[in-house]
Copies of this chain bind each other. A is one copy, B any other.
Amino acid sequence: MSSYSKKRGLPPGSLVFTGTKKTSEISIEEIEYNQTNYSRKEIKNIKNINYSAGSDNIYWININGLHETNIIESIGNIFSINALTLEDILNLQQRPKTEIFGDYIYITLKMLTYNGDSIDNEQISIVLGKNYVITFQEKPGDIFDPLRLRIQSQSGKIRSSGSDYLAYALIDIVVDNYFVLLEKLNSEIEVFEENLIYSFEKETLTQIYRLKRENLVMRNSIWPVRELISQLERSESDLLNDRIQIYFRDLYDHTIQVIDTAEVSREILSGLIDLYLSGISNKTNEVMKVLTIISTIFIPLTFIVGLYGMNFKFMPELSWKWGYIAVWAIMLLITFFMIIYIKRKKWL
């Protein structure tokens, strides 16, 4: 969320990269396939992209790294992508959305990854054309590797389907990934739940709060995906084959399921906060009780022994033979009644 300010006052369509560079070099990968053939190559120079608009092959161009706006612009020229779309690709403060144009569909969503102790929020842009799909990522990643393998090994229907199926498969992987993350979050929550019953540590709330924040980030990334997929499902664009609708519908169900799970996590987390807070109150109450018990018993006794520590000349009790014993008796009596009182109050 660092630098939207860079864009302030610029005309729409200005290409400005609003993120922080996550990879030093931009890498481009081209996969070309049809039912029978398959090739894959690293592109060093933009001009080496051998895309042909008329071909029956499917082209998948994957770009890792967005900080060189001129490369993005060149890609835009090759596939005739609108300047406003290119601007959206570069603006990492995008909300997940889809925009359906005449000759391509623009889809942007957030890929969430767990980097040890917090959730990383990477923007993925997908441009789906008649016979190509272009994906823009902020940095190289292995999330799409199973798909690459499925293409290469001809598993499933991917080699025999069009570019729309490829786009679907990409979104499907991103959504599946939300599930995996939520599972991780939920198992962390379960650990907290069990611990909360036995011990309260100071850092616990900070960590629940961190989980809550991560949950918030996730919900925020996932909610708009629902509408996005629903739009794709209901769209009548020529770019989307009729047979693809059933897949988008399935994906839509998955997204709802992800959202449900995230909402449940949220409720559980806020329940945990209540539990934690009441745990502190309980502990304070317990500490107070100990203090009060000790004080209630010993403060009166201390007064009594102080009383007979006075140095008055005329204190008849002091010279009584049974005086000392009597004081002990009185003190034991007081202690006895105090303990009964405390028992009655159920402090012990």
A binding-site residues for B, Cβ under 8 Å: 1-5, 7-14, 84, 93-95, 97, 145-147, 149-150, 155-158, 169, 172-173, 176-177, 179-180, 183, 186, 197, 199, 202, 205-206, 209, 212-213, 216-217, 220, 224, 246-247, 250, 253, 256-257, 260-261, 264, 267-268, 271, 273-292, 294-296, 298-303, 305-315, 317-324, 327, 345-347
Contact = CB atoms under 8 A, between A and B. Distances in A.
B292 A296 contact: no
Given A9-B145, A146-B8, A310-B305, A284 B288 contact: yes
A323 B318 contact: no
Q: Tell me what chain A mostly uses at the interface: helix, strand, loop, or mixed.
A: helix
A97 B4 contact: no
Nearest to A11: B156
Contacts of A283: 285
A342 to B, nearest CB: 9
Contacts of A322: 314
A107 B307 CA distance: 81
B250 A212 contact: no
B302 A324 contact: no
Contacts of A2: 183
A251 to B, nearest CB: 9
Contacts of A173: 8-9
Given A11-B150, A84-B246, A294-B295, 19 more contacts: A1-B186, A8-B176, A12-B172, A12-B247, A94-B257, A213-B271, A216-B267, A217-B264, A276-B278, A280-B285, A287-B289, A290-B345, A291-B291, A294-B300, A298-B299, A299-B299, A309-B310, A311-B311, A311-B318
Contact of A264 (B13, B216, B267, B286): B216
